[in-house]
Amino acid sequence: MKLNIGVIKGDGIGPEIVTEAMKVLDRVGRVYGHELNYTQLLMGGASIDVHGVPLTEETIELAKQSDAVLLGSIGGDAKTSPWYQLEPSKRPEAGLLKIRKALNLFANLRPAVLYDELKGACPLKEEITEGGFDMMIMRELTGGLYFGERSTEVRDGVLTATDTLTYNEDEIRRIAKRGFDIAMKRRRKVTSIDKANVLDSSRLWRKTVEEVAKDYPEVTLEHMLVDNCAMQLVKNPRQFDVILTENMFGDILSDEASMVTGSIGMLASASLNETKFGMYEPSGGSAPDIAGKGIANPIATILSAAMMLRFSFDLDTEADAVETAVEKVLKDGYRTIDIMSEGKTQIDTAEMGDKICAYISK
Ligand code: IPM
Ligand code: MG
């Protein structure tokens, strides 16, 4: 099969971790007989440096022509990087939000799994993690606060900033359907997160999710307030199967969920639209403090590449092979520094990529 992949290495640790994911994809190509064509695309700070803007129309066009996009991470140190001297709409993050919108990537899947081998890196008590956990966060990605109108202006002599949180029922319905569809392939439970005791947008969210649930009688639906969910994630993470939520709540809760799995360096993600096209990226940031040191954990990006094989190319066997290889390397005791624990062997970014490749064979 021919796989045309747009690659946005991005900023910070992005280039290092994407290089390892491409190494793994190349290995999959060799072992299973696929041809991989990469088109390098610029976005974020790397695009600002060349074009003065974080995302060009050309990048959007080339991304659309690809079957899928692999993305590292974007952004720099807000205190020291010149990118943050620019107005907010020209900063690296604006490029990421704009490409998600331009490609209509409304469904963001972030799986948080506690690997048996990584229990040592999990900050929770053993009695809580007993039996492990495996949840899928389904985050709405193109609506809500991050895309509402915003302004900063002087009102009655006082500097005042406003952000608006808007959702219509169509946007809620399409993400809810995705959440229930994926629950049908898992343990058939959806926990819908909102703040319906305060927000109108959450009350519409809850009502719409309940309507969608009627088409999925086999799925158990629970509603949970977002503040309670933040607590439940550390109190009893096993209760969750699919967490369905809006953009900002999903942004926050997915970072928390990743940490209870041991490290944000383990959390993959897929951003999908109505077609097979998707953008695949680790959920973590660009970590400028460790960029260039060769110590970043490439596993989240490698697992994102596995999601790409699964969702955009329907290559389930190949995706399974990558995921199994990751598990084997962890079982062998190899760790990057973020997931290091006593008695294990610490390796660097490139070695982790090599070890995972070595386990991919037919
Ligand atoms: C993420 C990131 C982005 C987001 C930022 C960089 C705009 O935090 O993918 O979770 O909030 O979506
Ligand atoms: Mg985030």
The pLDDT confidence band at residue 53, using thresholds 50, 70 and 90, is very high
Which CATH number do you get for residue 254? 3.40.718.10
Q: What is the pLDDT of residues 233-282, one digit of tens each?
A: 999 999 999 999 999 999 999 999 988 988 888 999 999 999 999 999 99
Ligand approaching nearest to the C-alpha of 248: 1
Domain that residue 360 falls in: 1-105+288-362
Residue 320 lies in a domain: yes
0.85 exceeded by pTM: yes
DSSP codes of every residue in 149-200: -EEEEEETTEEEEEE-----HHHHHHHHHHHHHHHHTTTSEEEEEE-TTT-H
338 is catalytic: no
Q: Could you say which of 26, 134, 163, 255 is catalytic?
A: 255
Does pLDDT of 168 surpass 90? yes
Give the whole-angstrom CA distance, residue 34 versus residue 24.
13
Write down the H helix ranges in 218-348: 226-235, 247-260, 299-311, 316-331
| Shared domain check, 128 and 97 | no
Residue 281 lies in a domain: no
90 is catalytic: no
- 114-118, 236-240, 335-339, range with the lowest pLDDT: 114-118
Residue 256 lies in a domain: yes
| Shared domain check, 241 and 127 | yes
pLDDT of residue 263: 83
| Shared domain check, 328 and 199 | no
Rounded (5°) CA angle 77-80-86: 85
Q: What is the pLDDT of residues 54-106, one digit of tens each?
A: 999 999 999 999 999 999 999 999 999 999 999 999 999 999 999 999 999 99
Residue 267 lies in a domain: no
Give the whole-angstrom CA distance, residue 268 versus residue 283.
6
| Shared domain check, 240 and 154 | yes
Residue closest via CA to ligand 1's atom 4 equals: 251
Last residue of a domain, one of 260, 276, 309: 260
Last residue of a domain, one of 245, 260, 275: 260
| Shared domain check, 218 and 151 | yes
Summary mean pLDDT of the chain: 96
Per-residue pLDDT, averaged over 311-317, amounts to 97
pLDDT of residue 328: 97
Is there a contact between 139 and 250 (Cβ–Cβ < 8 Å)? yes
Write down the H helix ranges in the chain: 14-32, 45-51, 57-65, 92-102, 126-129, 169-184, 200-213, 226-235, 247-260, 299-311, 316-331, 349-358
By CB atoms closer than 10 A (0-12, 13-18, 19+), residue 132 is middle
| Shared domain check, 255 and 304 | no
How far is ligand 1, taken at its centre, from the CA of residue 220, in Å?
Answer: 29
**List of residues 6+ apart from 73 with CB closer than 8 A:** 10, 11, 12, 13, 14, 17, 281, 282, 284, 285, 286, 287
82 vs 87, 117, 155, 286, CA distance in Å? 11, 41, 30, 16
| Shared domain check, 229 and 304 | no
Residue 133 lies in a domain: yes
Residue 255 lies in a domain: yes
Q: For 190, phi and psi rounded to 5 degrees?
A: -120, 125
| Shared domain check, 185 and 66 | no
CA 75 distance to own-chain centroid: 15
Give the whole-angstrom CA distance, residue 320 versus residue 300.
15
Residue 243 lies in a domain: yes
Give the whole-angstrom CA distance, residue 110 versus residue 304.
9
> Ligand 1: which of 8, 43, 74, 96 to mutate, judged by most atoms within 8 Å of the beta carbon?
96
The pLDDT confidence band at residue 327, using thresholds 50, 70 and 90, is very high
| Shared domain check, 143 and 26 | no
| Shared domain check, 206 and 303 | no
| Shared domain check, 251 and 177 | yes
| Shared domain check, 294 and 349 | yes
Does pLDDT of 303 surpass 90? yes
Helices 316-331, 349-358: crossing angle, 10 deg rounding: 120
How far is ligand 2, taken at its centre, from the CA of residue 256, in Å?
Answer: 10
How far is ligand 1, taken at its centre, from the CA of residue 251, in Å?
Answer: 6
Residue 114 lies in a domain: no
Per-residue pLDDT, averaged over 218-235, amounts to 98
Total number of domains constituting the chain: 2
Per-residue pLDDT, averaged over 167-190, amounts to 98
